[in-house]
Amino acid sequence: MEYDKLFERIENNISIDLSNIKFCPGPCKDTTEEPDITHNNCCYFKPYSGGRYSQFNYPIDDKNTLILKNLRICSSCHHRYLEFTEENYIENLKEDAIIIIKKLKQNIKC
3-state secondary structure of 90: helix
Q: What is the pLDDT along the chain (110 residues), one digit of tens a residue?
A: 344 566 788 899 999 999 999 999 999 999 999 887 655 556 789 998 889 999 999 999 999 999 999 999 999 999 999 999 999 999 999 999 999 999 998 998 65
End-to-end CA distance of the chain: 5
Give the total number of structural domains in the chain: 1
Residues whose CB falls within 8 Å of the CB of residue 41, separated by 6 or more in sequence, listed in order: none
The domain containing residue 51 runs over which residues?
3-107
